[in-house]
Amino acid sequence: MKLAEAQAIAERVQAELSPYCEPGRCCIGGSIRRKSPEPNDLEIICVPKTIPGGLFKDRAERDPDFLHVVNRWFAVKGDAATGKYTQRILPEGIKVDLFMPTLDTFGVIYAIRTGSAEYSHQVLAKGWTRLGYESRGGVLWKDGQPTFLREERKLFDLLGIPWCPPELREI
């Protein structure tokens, strides 16, 4: 599909999900964010709101309204209720990859899922590896200590590289 069509659909999905996500934490990523002329799919990175759950209301569960929106779309893989990722098919027949990091891992996951895959590997992952970090689930670990990055720009700062606009993240 053409970028304008993909952008419009992604913005609609974002608008449907945003009320049930943490403020400012429902974003379009991938090839649409990079302004690729013909995206193949949609990538949304969001942090769903939680409510108290469990028998004693002592654990966080994803907002049921968030799940209601996501579960209207055909499930291909992943679990929207508890997972970090799910893939769905929208009514238009378009694939949407929904990544659900925590607030603490949002910055790293947003950067990685903006891509391109080569940029994420060659620049970001090699950058943190060069500095002695290891990535596990969006958390960067060094000497047994976690580094949580809530903002994408903080990752670039940590790596000591200038922030790169998404449309220039092609290798």
DSSP state of 41: S
Can you list the alpha helix ranges (DSSP code H) found in 50-151? 64-70, 106-114, 117-119, 126-130
- Number of domains within the chain: 2
Q: What is the pLDDT of residue 50?
A: 95
CATH number at residue 52: 3.30.460.10
Residue at which a domain ends, from 50, 81, 100: 100
Structure-token pair, residue 18: 């945003």
Query: Mean pLDDT throughout 21-29?
Result: 98
**Alpha carbon 34 to chain centroid distance?**
14
Q: What is the mean pLDDT of the chain?
A: 96
Tell me the whole-structure pTM to 2 decimals: 0.94
Condensed to tens digits (0 to 9), the pLDDT of residues 81-131 reads 999 999 999 999 999 999 999 999 999 999 999 999 999 999 999 999 999
CA 105 to chain centre: 9
Range of the domain at 119: 104-168
pLDDT at residue number 171: 84
CA gyration radius, the chain: 16
Distance CA 90, CA 96 (A): 7
User: Last residue of a domain, which of 67, 100, 133?
Assistant: 100
> Span 13-36, mean pLDDT?
98
- 134-136 β-sheet, strand order: 134-136, 139-142, 145-147
Model pLDDT, residue 54: 75
Please measure the distance between the N-terminal and C-terminal CA atoms of the chain and give it in whole angstroms: 22
pLDDT at 55 over 80: no
